[in-house]
Amino acid sequence: MTQTLKTKVLIIGAGTGGYVAGIRCGQLGLDTVLVDGGDGLGGTCLNVGCIPSKAIIHAAGKFETVAKAAGGGTLGITAAAPAIDLKQTVEWKDGIVRKLNAGVAALLKKAKVKVIKGWAKFEDAKTCVVKTEDGEIRITAEHVILATGSEPVELPFLPFGGDVISSTEALSLSEVPKKLVVVGGGYIGLELGIAFRKLGAEVAIVEMAERILPLYDKALTDPVAKWLEKHGVDLHLGARAGGLGNGKLNVTTKDGEPLQLDADKVLVTVGRRPRTQGWGLENMGVAMAGPFVKIDNRCATSMKNVWAVGDLTGEPMLAHKGSAQGEVVAEIIAHSSGKGGHDRVFDPVAIAAVCFTEPEIVSAGLGPNDVAGRDDVIQSVFPFAAIGRALAIEAGEDGGFVRVIASKSDHRILGVQAVGQHVSELSNSFAQMLEMGAVLEDVAGTIHVHPTLGEAFHEASLRALGHAIHI
């Protein structure tokens, strides 16, 4: 028997875009139903992406620290050789995920959002049928927010299964593979490849481009490349992966030569694609922009009162972008319904991106490739090697730096980048300055706490003005 349900707002997808939209809709007094048919509350990010990967990366860093202490000592500290039970580490990671799941569930309940677990399929733009464990529910809504997220891209000659894994399976391995081959040298492959190298795996990376992290400029990626070389990670650049057989991955090198790489596991991280199949998007009549759902600056699709947020809407496919879009849509719906809110647009100056590699990379706003050939900009770099806090935590000797790009005429900051240990924590400061339209003098005139890594941002801005203090 099919139940029927009517609601003001129907949200499809419980990831960072969907559940944040749900909470804000509930806070604004909108009758809201959230359908969760994917990875669970929190979506990819919380369950099989951002959060669990950073937990494993953190554990790998701890293991590496003890291993250094056992291998001749570090900072005057010595220790016995460490061992890792990856199954226990994964259980710890799963505990974090469960705690966050419960937190999201509690927040949705507090906001009076009705959560339905099941897979939705749309019959038309405002009606879907959800298959649950207890039967079917037909839901009709005045407003629909699509937040179905994305999924890993599968290579036809390396289908997922067995020893060919995606990042999802990599985060739940019961033991560290002796030999891991990563196909794809983007941020996901490098984050996990570096983590498993720290845990003791022999790691090889196969990347089609001529260098790792091709979306970032070479100065930012060089310190990461040096770490890989120093730690024996085998890089095959300009190379193409083939099939896997008898524990060997077939590779064609940059020179066209065949090569076989021993592999206990092959981690395929060649990108993610929007999740557009299997839930009736074709029945909704919304316009597309290539593989993505087309939206305007209010996150509205071509169908009246149908909205889309997050990875489904295109690059950058970042959790914090989806969350921000979800809030915007909730405000717009509430405003149009006389429930308060604001008639907003989604128009950020910059969305900062972070690679949790070794060392970490941050980029916000324009980079050097975006301003190449322009003579109306200032570029200023300040190395962490000249920052006391960086040296005190062994973060000043890997070639890290902060770079500021600003307009030469009015000193408006156009972009900020950094590479170095723990620089992810500087990303919000970078984004805030860009969003507020800061000029170099604003950063230079802000007293930065000593000793911190953030002093490098201050010094880079001073240097752009021609009077850095510590270099």
Pairwise CA distance, residues 121 & 281, whole Å: 8
Residue 304: CB atoms within 10 Å = 9
DSSP 356: -
Cα-to-chain-centroid distance, residue 306: 26
**Is the peptide bond prior to 291 cis by the omega test (within 30 degrees of 0)?**
no
> Which residue is listed with tokens 């060997």?
248
The angle subtended at Cα 91 by Cα 90 and Cα 93, nearest 5°, is 60
The angle subtended at Cα 365 by Cα 359 and Cα 369, nearest 5°, is 80
Phi-psi domain of 340 (left: phi exceeds 0; alpha: psi -120 through 50; beta: other) = left
Query: 74 exposed, middle or buried (CB, 10 Å; 0-12, 13-18, 19+)?
Result: middle
Q: Are strands 292-293 and 288-289 parallel, antiparallel or unpaired?
A: antiparallel
Catalytic position from the list 450, 458, 467, 470: 450
Residue 115 corresponds to which amino acid? Answer: V
List beta partners, residue 361. Answer: 355, 419
Pairwise CA distance, residues 40 & 61, whole Å: 28
Q: Token pair for residue 70?
A: 């056992």
Alpha helices in 8-149 (DSSP H): 16-27, 43-48, 50-70, 86-110
Q: Token pair for residue 433?
A: 């300055």
C-alpha dist (Å) from residue 307 to 10, 28, 296, 325, 326: 10, 17, 9, 10, 9
C-alpha dist (Å) from residue 360 to 25, 91, 300, 422: 35, 26, 35, 6
Catalytic: 236? Answer: no
User: How many helices (H) and strands (E) in the chain?
Assistant: 12, 24
CA 129, 153, 158, 61: dihedral to nearest 10 degrees? -120
> Is residue 269 within 8 Å of residue 192, measured between CB atoms?
yes
> Is residue 430 within 8 Å of residue 364, measured between CB atoms?
yes
> Is residue 29 within 8 Å of residue 334, measured between CB atoms?
yes
Q: Which residues are catalytic?
A: 450
